[in-house]
Amino acid sequence: MEAYQKQITVHAQHAESAPVIYLPVVMGDGTEVYERCRELNCPPFTLVGIGSLNWNRELSPWGCDGTVRDAEPFGGQASGFLDELLNWIIPEAESSLPQPPTWRGIAGYSLAGLFALWSLWQTDAFSRAASASGSLWFPDFVDRASTAPFAGNPQAVYLSLGKKETKTPNRMMRHVLDDTRAMEELFIERDIPTMLELNPGNHFAQTDLRMARGIHWILTH
């Protein structure tokens, strides 16, 4: 299924009405994450994998320099991708389901985890979010989030990080644990059930399983 040149893959193995979780993916189509979710005995849900994204451009909420010298800058076009998601991808994906979803969630890894949280301030379409190893070090994200109201009423938020992710020479990314804890405090202060899980390893360890653990948590809380 394609919408606007994005590759949309709907993973669903149930007939009843169930939640739908949207997952922008850097590679693949979400199959590995969905399989890990089934191994974790997630309750019935639909996972919509969204591929063929320009990662740095379409998942960054505003423009800024790249993380290292000469790296591609962040294009700041997340609002354009969110419009596409709301107006094209969601209607297309949900038209294929046997029943309308009971609720929608959004999940993502790394920069997609940043996008998942950022979207809670932009739209009430998603009632739950899971950010695994989210790029919450992104300049000004925590500061802007702390003073802005949500677009809706989020019901649950999951955050995770690898314990070794702060061990990096990169100045921008070094404070990611502080930023993730700050987001956890922000959600808790706003009375949203929140989980922060610290995993062994660096940013690239067991990415599918980490994402599946986040999806399992928001499905069951």
Give the model's pLDDT for residue 19. Answer: 97
Quote the pLDDT of residue 4: 57
Q: Residue type for 180, please?
A: T
DSSP letter assigned to residue 170: -
Instruction: Report the first-to-last Cα separation within the chain, whole angstroms.
Output: 31
DSSP H or E stretch at residue 209 = helix 207-220
Beta bridge partners of 157: 129, 194
pLDDT band (50, 70, 90) for residue 175: confident
Task: Check residues 203 and 124 and name the one with the higher pLDDT.
Answer: 124
Contact call for residues 22 and 106 (beta carbons, < 8 A): yes
How many helices, marked H, and strands, marked E, lie in the chain?
8, 10
Q: Look at strands 128-132 and 104-109 and give their pairing.
A: parallel
Binning pLDDT at 50, 70 and 90, where does residue 64 land?
confident
